[in-house]
Structure 1
Amino acid sequence: MSAEVYVGRAPAEGAANAGWLLGHFMPPGDPRHSDEIEIKWGVHPAGEERAQWVRGEARTTFAVLVSGRFRLRFPDRDVLLAEPGDYVTWGRGVDHSWVAEQESVMLIVRWPSVPGYKAESPRAL
């Protein structure tokens, strides 16, 4: 198999790396290493919420619901993702938080991939 091709399983690999499948945090030389984009397969139990708000976000984010019911919180509104395929996107500088209203699977794409950024672990309600 070519070194430029990587085949994996998002649920298993994501579980081993806080959900992250692609980004600057993967080893250099690995096809999953990128300074331009990050991709996450987020599995969230019902009631899990972000430990604290993200303030001054440095990336753009696209979040799509694969399954479950997931609420994104923004300073001026909440967005409920309730049907598979519902999505939301927001740009740099947008403060946000979230809560999994039901067990949820989310596919998250962020860009660019910013070294040194690490969120606190989510907490259960």
Structure 2
Amino acid sequence: MPPNVVFGNASVEGANRWGWFLGHFITPTDDPRSTPLLEVKWGVHKAGDGRTQWATNIEATTLSILINGRFRLQFPEQEFVMSREGNYVLWLPGVAHYWSAETDSTVVTVRWPSKPEDSREIPT
């Protein structure tokens, strides 16, 4: 029987999944953190870290919230720099993006729904 309450550390538990610690990819599937409803990431990024390849999600909506630091999200038509604690950016499925950490940054990202192979790199 799975527990009704789970306690842990997002940074430790997401370490082998690029920060993702809740979603469809958690095993066993009866673990309360295993869900197709959403994914949650605790992203700790050093200054200069980034994703330079455009990517998109097929079905998932994404919300990124800045905990600390200065973090840039680039979209085809515009860019957003999150520089104040609590700044957020939300984007819909099909929107291409990439990102970079301008300073050491911590960002919480939530995607919903959580589906295998929903995130795709876009060839340049």
What TM-score results when the alignment is normalised by the length of structure 2?
0.88
Give the count of matched residue pairs.
Answer: 119
**Is the aligned partner of 1:17 residue 2:21?**
no
8 A contact 1:57–1:95 mirrored in 2: no
Higher strand share: 2
1:87 maps onto 2:88 in alignment: yes
Q: Which runs of no fewer than 5 residues in structure 2 stay unpaired?
A: none
* Structure 1 position 18, deviation (Å): 1.5
Match of 2:49 in 1: 48
Secondary structure at the aligned position of 1:12 is classed as helix
How many Å apart are 1:14 and its aligned residue? Answer: 2.2
Amino acid in the other structure paired with 1:101: E
Aligned to 2:35: 34
Whole-angstrom CA distance in 1 between matches of 2:52 and 2:58: 15
Secondary structure in 1 matching 2:14 = helix
Residues 46 and 103 in structure 1, CA contact (< 8 A), matched pair in contact too: yes
- Contiguous gaps of at least 5 residues in structure 1: 121-125
Are the aligned partners of 1:23 and 1:33 in contact in 2 as well (CA < 8 Å)? yes
Runs of 4+ in 1 over 3 A off after TM superposition: 117-120
CA offsets 1:54-109 (integer angstroms, 9 cap, x no match): 14643100100001100000001110000110001011111111000011100000
Separation in structure 2 between the aligned mates of residue 88 and residue 49 of structure 1, nearest angstrom? 16
What's 2:64 paired with?
Answer: 63
In angstroms, what is the RMSD of aligned CA positions? 1.7
Q: TM-score, normalised by structure 1?
A: 0.87
Q: Which secondary structure state, in structure 1, belongs to the residue aligned with residue 109 of structure 2?
A: strand
Matched AA of 1:18: W
Identity %: 45
